[in-house]
Structure 1
Amino acid sequence: MAIEINQTVKILFEVKIDGVVVDGSRSKKPFEFNYGVGQLIPGLEKRIVNMKAGEAAEILVPAAEAYGEYDENAVQTLPLAQFDDIADLKIGMQVQGEDEDGQPIQFTVKEITATTVTIDLNHPLAGKDIEYKIKIDSLM
């Protein structure tokens, strides 16, 4: 039986970015999720829909169907004073914040000068194709 919307699926997986393993089922304990409700990136859900329990596959999800293409317009330079409440601000730091409407956002600090901070609002994996090794452990 193929996977159905809202069905509980357990998978064993390995994730590679640029050929380097970055995540996976290290403990050999399956990752459990409900299919079709946004718990996985769209490109992966789309590619496993016809898989059955016990089936394995190597899947490449292009950036556009994962975390999106990298958007240069999502890089902004702001006054350093806006970051006074962040102790030990460092390049590469990922920061949780709020936008003008009070909605949560996450960004990465790209550059710090004496008067400004350049931030990147892109997801850290934006612009990256993602390679998966997947095995459907069970469908419930």
Structure 2
Amino acid sequence: MSTLIGHDSRVLFHFTIKLEDGSVADSTQLHGKPARLTMGDGSLTPQFEQCLLGLRQGEAKSFTLSPEQAFGLSNPDNIYHLDRAKFGADVEPKVGAIIVFDQPNGGELPGIVRAVQGMSVTVDFNHPLAGHTVTFEVEILGVDDQEEVL
């Protein structure tokens, strides 16, 4: 068992994501449940993974990523103006609400309601942290090498 994070490691860690103003956007510690990830599985951006490489079990680190390195820039093509009639009677689109939409392939896509004007509802399908510089604070709880796991 290795305690150093490599390209194929499985990692158990706590993280906190902070915005530029210092406010917390997400934290596994608030939920009391650490995150698990396999390096290189695509669940994190390559830049985030690069920051984790070489860290050891028990180590904590803080790093800041630009929007391009973290959740991307806000893409205006991901903002849609939908007819209010497309929402069911049981769904009240309110500004700030997150609504999950069914996709043709059977998947789901969450969107944030940005505006409601008459019969027009503006829905943003960008990641909620797109366009933000973020600071990640991580605490590495455990590291396993994939090659050592049977």
Structure 2 length-normalised TM:
0.78
Offset of 1:99 from its aligned partner?
4.3
Q: Deviations over 1:24-83 (max 9, x none)?
A: 223665433222212334322121112122222111122112211011232221222112
Show the counterpart of 2:74: 70
Q: Which runs of 5+ in 1 are unaligned?
A: none
1:124 lines up with 2:128 in the alignment: yes
Residue 21 of structure 1 is aligned with which of 24, 29, 32? Answer: 24
Supply the distance in 2 between the matched residues of 1:28 and 1:94 (Cα, whole angstroms).
23
Supply the distance in 2 between the matched residues of 1:29 and 1:83 (Cα, whole angstroms).
34
Structure 1 length-normalised TM:
0.82
Residue 84 of structure 1 is aligned with which of 78, 85, 88? Answer: 88
1:27-42 to 2 correspondences below 5 Å: 30-42=34-46
- RMSD value, Cα: 2.3
Supply the distance in 2 between the matched residues of 1:139 and 1:101 (Cα, whole angstroms).
35
Show the counterpart of 2:7: 5
Stretch deviating more after TM superposition (29-38 or 121-130): 29-38
Q: Which runs of 5+ in 2 are unaligned?
A: 145-150
Supply the distance in 1 between the matched residues of 2:121 and 2:30 (Cα, whole angstroms).
37
Moved over 4 A (4+): 99-103
* Preserved CA contact (<8 Å) 1:43 1:62: no
Show the counterpart of 1:105: 109
Instruction: Tell me the percent identity.
Output: 26
Offset of 1:126 from its aligned partner?
0.6
The 3-state SS of whatever aligns with 1:65 is: coil
Show the counterpart of 1:55: 59
